[in-house]
Chain A
Amino acid sequence: MVNIPANVIELMNKEGTVKALVTSSKKGMPHAIIAGTIMSPAPNTMVIGEVLMKVSSKNLKENEEAAFLITSGTEAYEINCKVKARLDKGPELDGMNKVLETMHMHAAAIWIFTVEAVFDQSASPKAGTKLA
């Protein structure tokens, strides 16, 4: 387990930053989704609310490896993660659904991930550099 660098978390929390979850089926077919519910409650943890996410959820049950892509302009980072838990009840889910309610959305569960590695993916010669 590693910690996400502070500048990556800062970019993640910035308005306008694009955040994607990438999963893979057990047959190796990748699948990416854009989600506003992606966040990092602690530097070694990523979470996402399960809003729709039918294919992603199926993939995560088959293959616990996942990645989050965080990008704004030419700056981009990839956070490699592994599934820790899926919570379909409890205060964490209630808290997320209070926020989602204002956007007329509802999460059936929260997926929690441990962070395994962080890479710079910016459009620059640094692309591919492991940061953590």
Chain B
Amino acid sequence: MVQMLPIVMDMLIRPETHKVMSTVSADGQPHSIVCGSLIVIDPETIAVGKVNMYTTCKNLETNRKVEFLAWLGREAYGIQAEAVGRITEGPILEKMNQHLNKMNMFAYELWAFRVCSVYDEGVGELAGTRII
């Protein structure tokens, strides 16, 4: 388990940042979704609201490895993580739904992910460098 740097967490929580979450099916087919319902619980944990996410959830049942890619302009970070469970009640889910309510969306639960590693994926020679 690793801790995200403040600069990476800031990239994840800023509303104007682009965020994509990727999973892989049991037979090796990668799948990505635009991820608007993402929150950082603490430097080691990311949570995503289950809004639609049918293929993603199916993939997570057989393969818990995920990657979050967050970018703005030429700066980008890839965060490799592993699903650790679902959150079906409590203040974190309520906070998520307050956020989603503004977009007329609702999450019945959250998926929680433990961060495993972080890579610089910005435009430049450092692309692909592991930073944590």
Contact = CB atoms under 8 A, between A and B. Distances in A.
A58 B27 CA distance: 18
Given A18-B18, A34-B76, A128-B54, A28 B28 contact: yes
Contacts of B71: 34
Given A29-B65, A30-B23, A33-B121, A54 B128 contact: yes
Contact of A24 (B24, B76, B105, B127): B24
Contact of A69 (B34, B54, B66): B34
Interface string B16-36: 001010111001111111101
A127 B52 contact: yes
A124 to B, nearest CB: 8
B3 interface: no
B53 to A, nearest CB: 8
B61 to A, nearest CB: 13
B69 interface: yes
Interface string A36-68: 000000000000000010110000000101110
Interface in B61-84: 63, 65-67, 69, 71, 76, 78, 80
Nearest to A27: B65
A32 interface: yes
Contacts of A55: 128
B contact face: mostly helix, strand, loop, or mixed: strand
Tell which of B31, B32, B54, B76 has the most Cβ of chain A within 10 Å.
Answer: B32
Contacts of A20: 20, 32, 69
Interface size range of chain A in the complex:
20 to 34
Given A30-B66, A30-B67, A128-B54, A123 B36 contact: yes
Given A22-B30, A69-B34, A71-B34, A32 B54 contact: no
6 closest cross-chain pairs (CB), A and B: A30-B22, A127-B52, A22-B30, A24-B24, A69-B32, A24-B30
Interface of B: 18, 20, 22-24, 27-34, 36, 51-52, 54-55, 63, 65-67, 69, 71, 76, 78, 80, 103, 105, 121, 127-128
24 contacts: A20-B20, A23-B30, A24-B28, A24-B29, A28-B24, A28-B28, A28-B65, A29-B65, A29-B67, A29-B80, A30-B31, A30-B65, A31-B22, A32-B30, A33-B121, A65-B27, A67-B29, A67-B30, A67-B31, A69-B20, A121-B34, A123-B36, A123-B105, A128-B54
